[in-house]
Amino acid sequence: MNRIVKLSQQCGMTVIASIHQPSNEVFALFHNLCLLSSGITVYFGPASATDEFFTLNGFPCQSMRNPSDHYLRTINKDFDNDKDIEKGFPQNKPVTTEEAINILTESYKSSQFFQQVHYQVSEISKREGRVLEKGSQASFLTRSFVLTRRSFLNMYSDLGYYWLRLGIYVSLCLCIGTMFYDIGHDTGSVKARGAMLMFVASFLTFMSIGGFPSFVEDVMIFGRERLNGHYGVAAFVVGNTLSSIPYLLIISIIPGAIAYYLVGLHKGFGHFLFFVLVIFASVMLVESLMMLVACIVPNYLMGIIIGAGIQGIMILNSGFFRLPDEIPNPFWKYPMYYIGFQRYAIEGLYKNEFEGLSFPRNQGSSSSTITGVEILETVWQMPTGYSKWIDMVIMFGMVVLYRLMFFSIIKISEKIKPILQTFLVAQHKQTKQSNNGTPLHNISKQSNQIMARRSSHTFSVDLTICTLQFQVYVKHDNNNII
């Protein structure tokens, strides 16, 4: 308390502290005490003189009782259902809380503490001070900046958010690099490159579901702070997106460079940059997907299972396990093949790798080499009529779409939740009223009929029915029906 007092004096501020059931030692640290009852001042003066004030008015605090509990019990009308307050003098009879409040209020108005308070208020009113400027809320940019900074620091300090994933990504890319080391440009390298790129686009980014618990915590914190009116959904989405970009770039560039150069993929910085951007967009898409799952299923285990299932479906019909022309048209190709982001990631990586390269044909072919474009069209059955950058634009467009879907779900839930709560409360009241309106003799008659039909059964069943009938009697007795 002394530390708080010094801080308030140094900073020139008023400190409001909430202390639940302060002990005798903590209560003794307070200088002044104000007791209110329904907005009426019962006492306002030194805390050390409170016990004397209550004792003089016939409400002494017992030696082994907490003073704050005693004062609360004396002036709080919530205790009216308990027995009346016993005054400290033997000749006085017990009084109600209302009477105790009136006694203490009248005594306070005639005390010196009341005069001192009025004198201090009049002196303060005479002082001249600067006119305070009208307060205003922080702008959208300010709130977004603060949320971005806070989220960035939280991601930095939480090892499970990105740092653990970075270690796993580096380990996996080392495994990929050693497995496909210096893959070369022979005929067998065509399918090897395709398998390696498919693993990077699908299974490597699949690991991003590991950050789902952190997403759930962020969404839960946002829910509490949103109810308090600190900021809106848009500021939260912007802050979370901007704060995650540096970490996503780190886990895309470092592991991507290890895998790209160990395998010996298409030479050139432009091709490497596109490779990294595809990983970045894929990881960001997975995070956006898991944010959608987090706002719908705020359970760690269920969320990870659902997120993994959704990604598994997207990987299955991405065009690798079954070529695009072989995918069944109903559902799998239309629309799943076109709305799954894994398809565009694999397509962009394949175009980035095979376009501009040539590979030797199998023996017996008329031409000695086959171009990368021919491989894309014949081996992988991919369209070559548009650039790989179109696939990149589609992926980043899906990132924006997923974030907007998250924004929309939060907004819609804010509108629907109050309606659902009102409906459920109305249903509960209606059910309660119908139960209270059921005649008791009908319940007894029905219970007797059940007992008569079940008379041939064991004693435990009859005992259960009797217990149910007893509970009904007690309930209706409390509602003054009997």
Q: Where are the domains of the chain?
A: 21-120, 140-416, 433-478
Q: How many CA atoms lie within 13 A of 73 on its CB side?
A: 18
- What's the CA gap between 245 and 250, in Å, rounded? 9
pLDDT of residue 356: 92
- What's the CA gap between 419 and 422, in Å, rounded? 5
Listed in sequence order, the residues at least 6 apart from 425 whose beta carbon sits closer than 8 Å to its beta carbon are: none
The amino acid occupying position 66 is N
Q: Which residue has the tokens 């924006």?
A: 400
pLDDT of residue 79: 72
DSSP-based three-state secondary structure for 67: helix
Averaged over successive runs of 10 residues, the pLDDT of the chain (482 residues) comes to 80 79 82 89 92 90 86 83 54 75 92 90 80 72 94 92 93 95 91 94 86 87 88 92 96 96 95 97 94 86 92 92 92 92 95 93 73 93 94 96 93 84 80 62 49 42 34 39 36
The amino acid occupying position 345 is A
Angle at 384 between CA 378 and CA 387, to 5 degrees: 150
Peptide bond into 60 cis (omega under 30): no
Return phi, psi of residue 358, to 5°: -140, 150
122 alpha carbon, distance to own chain's centre: 49
pLDDT of residue 249: 96
What tokens does 188 get?
A: 């067998």
Are 29 and 47 in contact by the 8 Å Cβ rule? The answer is no
